[in-house]
Amino acid sequence: MKVVSTEKSQVLASRIAGALGTGIVDVKFSQFPDGELCLAAVAPDDEMVIVGSTPDNDSLVQLLLLIDACEGSKNHLVLPYMGYARQDKKFRDGEPISARAIARLFTHHVADCITVNIHEPDVLKYFGVPTKNISVGKDVGRYIESMDLSDPLILAPDDGALAFAGDVASVGGWDYDYLDKTRLSGSEVKIAPKKLSSASRSVVIVDDIISTGGTIATAAGMLYLQGAKDVYAACVHGVLIGGAYSHLKVSGIREIICSDTIERGCSRISAASCIAAALKH
């Protein structure tokens, strides 16, 4: 078994190979003069682990080219971050279910697929192959443990992320809660923990994705007004578009942490050992 990856998942793929005790396949992506993506011949093994997050369209095309190049092998697809997964239903008439459209691309030459904290697990039904969605919640918790915060409060930005916050908090037996939004007037909204107080506490807001950072920046502002000592942010997928990292820093977030499902300078947590364990079972 060998591991191969798209350009933007090289580091994670190499860590997965290390955790599996296997090698990686040399791969070279380039572009044709008209801008189309091109992949130099790869030498696949009989069994391959193909790793590729799809935070952008080029990564998606690279992944499809890789899968096609490995057509004769038994291929295990690892999709650490699946782009388009947030359009998981028709929010308005006439819209596509983008997650379904993308998932259906992975039905050929793939034996099974592993995703990591996919935004909506229900979309797994659209893959044409057996799937497994794993969580790095405990790895996020272990990173928070290493920060040595005194009695941190783990907060989900909404009740939908409460189970993830619980998973993170279980590592240290910390308190956890979710942020509840109350509309005070046409223009005023109050965001505060549903049950607990953040006053004088170190708070870590945890979410599956940080995209623009807007959700967490707004919440952090409110938490500081309510007396929080420090606010940190941790997520699985650091999409971080449009200057989100700077926006969060300016909003007073002490540290922004994400995993390497999308490789970033702030990828302090690796999904590699969880992915390798899932591949072994």
6-43 residues labelled b (16+ CB within 10 A) or e (exposed): bebbbebbbbbbebbebebbebebeeeeeeebebeebe
Residue with tokens 């938490």: 223
Nearer to ligand R5P, 165 or 272 (CB): 165
CB 131, min distance to ligand R5P, A: 20
What strand order describes the sheet that includes 74-79?
23-24, 2-5, 47-51, 74-79, 112-116, 131-134
CB 255, min distance to ligand R5P, A: 16
CB 22, min distance to ligand R5P, A: 33
How far apart CA 259 and CA 266 sit, in angstroms, is: 8
Positions marked catalytic: 181
Residue in 156, 155, 108 with CA at minimum distance from that of residue 128:
108
CB 213, min distance to ligand R5P, A: 5
Nearer to ligand R5P, 82 or 209 (CB): 209
**Where does the chain show beta strands of DSSP type E?**
2-5, 23-24, 29-31, 37-39, 47-51, 74-79, 112-116, 131-134, 153-156, 175-183, 189-193, 202-210, 230-238, 253-259, 267-269
Q: Given the rule CB under 6 A, which residues bind ligand R5P?
A: 157, 161, 207-215
Nearer to ligand R5P, 78 or 216 (CB): 216
Nearer to ligand R5P, 66 or 216 (CB): 216
**Rounded to the nearest 10 degrees, how much is the dihedral formed by the CA atoms of 205, 206, 211, 217?**
0
Q: Hey, how many other C-beta atoms are within 10 angstroms of the C-beta on 68?
A: 11
CB 207, min distance to ligand R5P, A: 5
Nearer to ligand R5P, 38 or 189 (CB): 189
Residue with tokens 């790869």: 42
